[in-house]
Amino acid sequence: MTVAAVAAMAVGGGALLMTENNASAAREPARRQWAAAAPMTINCPDVAVRLSQVPQQARPTVDNELAQLDTQVADAYGQLASAGGKADQKWVRTRVLDPLSSQRRLTLDRIAAEIDRVANRPQQLESLASCTVKQDAVAPASASASAAAPDAAAANPPAPGASAPAGGSPAQTGPQRSDFVDIRKVRPNVATPRLQRNASRGTFQSRCGRNENKHFNPDNVIVAPGVSNGAHHMHDYVGNLETDAFATNDDLAAAGTTCTNGDRSTHYWPVLRLRNGKIEGDADLPGGGKDGNVGRILQPASAQLTFRGSPVSKVTAMPTFLRIITGDAKAFTNGTANANASWSCTGFENRQLKDKYPLCPRGSNVVRTFNFQSCWDGSNTDSANHRTHVAFAGPNGACPKGFRAIPQLVQRITYKIAPGSVFAVDSFPEQLHKPVTDHGDFINVMSSSLMRKAVGCINSGRRCG
């Protein structure tokens, strides 16, 4: 399906896009109607990023409550669906936003009480209860945007604040024509830090396949352990064969792996889908069509997992079960402070995109790259917001004070996609399948001996694996 065909698919029905919710099956017709007609997006503060200090004893309960906040937003989309695209501001406020805020306030109270049980109660959490509904201000891909020149359409979106036509006219929830750009129109923008005398110049690779065994689920064992469909979008997995929401560290350590060197580490990222109107096997399942993620799941042409060194120092071993998330699944509404995935095309990887999908010329593959944080605080394998225990090196390659350099994981995934085809990552519905919401996840389950080998290769300047 070409960029030029997206608008026709949007008008043609809800087969292309559905909206996230976990409401009952009886509300499914309303969901499909909303997917085809609603121009609104629910926008709530991301509580998880504000909770940087949660005691270890409270984290299981807090993680579960944070997952409930996502489910509440999903159910609110179901309520919007019941309006059939004809809701006015008063209806949205009284039937959607007020009940949602009340639910969120109760959940935030439970989070605060759980933390208060073992530490100081967090202040002002209740200020994060209220949500807003905004109209999609980005035009869908137009039939006037040809596949041969998609960048022309991307360069001419409507003015900010433009609303959908009255009467519930069809509007898309992503991808939009402005989400794509011809990679040939992008200027080179990659800068490489200069290597210092003590740099660790080697690399270590784990070859773990391309998810040939079709290990998919919509869980996120890092962010929402013990919660089925905690991600509300489907993940591709390579490496550890037992990874789902309910996998414990012991489960991961005892599991099989797709990696040829015996590495049991877990690597996962949102699936990429071809938006061609075809029905995927998860069209009626959580994480798939029920959460607005539709189209054919694309298998990577390659998935390279490389650990590399620091440009200024030697690296130290990662601790077992270290968890790292790079990028932000909610960057469209949170802002781009934690956005980190980049997009490019083979043959053009000196041009990296954060907020656009690349349209690659014939013979060139789409490339997704996740450069993970390469600095560790030296003590914690995770943190309450899953970020503060690790950090990125500065522009000169040095770690912040109090952090030490560890092998930097780079996940590089490529896809064969016909020129002009529409594709998008799975996402939460309010994130509109924006490229800036792409993210990668990693749990280190290397054996101690394999980690020592990786560190030795990197620090001695060898290329291993």
Tracing tokens 């433009």 back to the chain, one arrives at 162
- Verify that 272 and 395 share a domain, yes or no: yes
Q: Cα angle at 389 between 384 and 390, to 5 degrees?
A: 130
pLDDT value at residue 464: 96
Q: Is residue 157 part of a domain?
A: no
- Verify that 64 and 130 share a domain, yes or no: yes
Confidence class for position 85, pLDDT limits 50, 70, 90: low
Evaluate if residue 35 carries a pLDDT over 90.
no
Q: Is residue 94 part of a domain?
A: yes
Evaluate if residue 437 carries a pLDDT over 90.
yes
Q: List the one residue out of 321, 317, 322 whose CA is nearest residue 249.
A: 321
Q: Is residue 292 part of a domain?
A: yes
Q: Is residue 397 part of a domain?
A: yes
- Verify that 276 and 408 share a domain, yes or no: yes
Evaluate if residue 21 carries a pLDDT over 50.
no
Confidence class for position 84, pLDDT limits 50, 70, 90: low
**% the chain with pLDDT above 70:** 82
Of 130-134, 232-236, 335-339, the poorest mean pLDDT is in 130-134
- Verify that 268 and 337 share a domain, yes or no: yes
pLDDT value at residue 213: 97
pLDDT value at residue 88: 84
Q: Is residue 84 part of a domain?
A: yes
Q: Among 105, 134, 163, which residue terminates a domain?
A: 134
Q: Is residue 453 part of a domain?
A: yes
- Verify that 195 and 119 share a domain, yes or no: no
| Contact call for residues 16 and 275 (beta carbons, < 8 A) | yes
The pair phi, psi for residue 31, each rounded to 5°, is -60, -45
**CA 272/CA 439 separation, integer angstroms:** 12
Confidence class for position 124, pLDDT limits 50, 70, 90: confident
Q: Among 134, 165, 188, which residue terminates a domain?
A: 134
- Verify that 39 and 186 share a domain, yes or no: no
Q: Is residue 262 part of a domain?
A: yes
> Greater confidence, 138 or 373?
373
Confidence class for position 171, pLDDT limits 50, 70, 90: very low
pLDDT value at residue 197: 92
CB atoms < 10 A from the CB of 447, how many?
A: 14
- Verify that 122 and 181 share a domain, yes or no: no
- Verify that 128 and 184 share a domain, yes or no: no
Per-residue pLDDT tens digits for 289-320: 988 899 999 999 999 999 999 999 999 999 99
| Contact call for residues 447 and 255 (beta carbons, < 8 A) | no
pLDDT value at residue 386: 93
For 277, residues 6+ apart whose C-beta sits below 8 A from its C-beta are 1, 9, 15, 16, 295
Residue 99, domain extent: 1-134
Per-residue pLDDT tens digits for 417-436: 999 899 999 998 788 899 99
Per-range mean pLDDT, top range of 18-32, 41-55, 144-158, 182-196? 182-196
- Verify that 129 and 191 share a domain, yes or no: no
Element at 40 (helix H, strand E): strand 40-43
| Contact call for residues 76 and 20 (beta carbons, < 8 A) | no
pLDDT value at residue 7: 33
Per-residue pLDDT tens digits for 339-395: 999 999 999 999 999 999 999 999 999 999 999 999 999 999 999 899 999 999 999
Of 45-59, 192-206, 243-257, 430-444, the poorest mean pLDDT is in 45-59
- Verify that 129 and 248 share a domain, yes or no: no
* Mean pLDDT estimate for the chain: 84
Of 57-71, 154-168, 170-184, 204-218, the poorest mean pLDDT is in 154-168
| Contact call for residues 465 and 205 (beta carbons, < 8 A) | yes
Structural domains of the chain, count? 2
Q: Among 78, 108, 134, which residue terminates a domain?
A: 134
**HSE, side-chain direction, 13 A CA sphere, residue 347:** 11
- Verify that 130 and 3 share a domain, yes or no: yes
Q: Is residue 163 part of a domain?
A: no
| Contact call for residues 342 and 459 (beta carbons, < 8 A) | no
Evaluate if residue 329 carries a pLDDT over 90.
yes
- Verify that 104 and 223 share a domain, yes or no: no
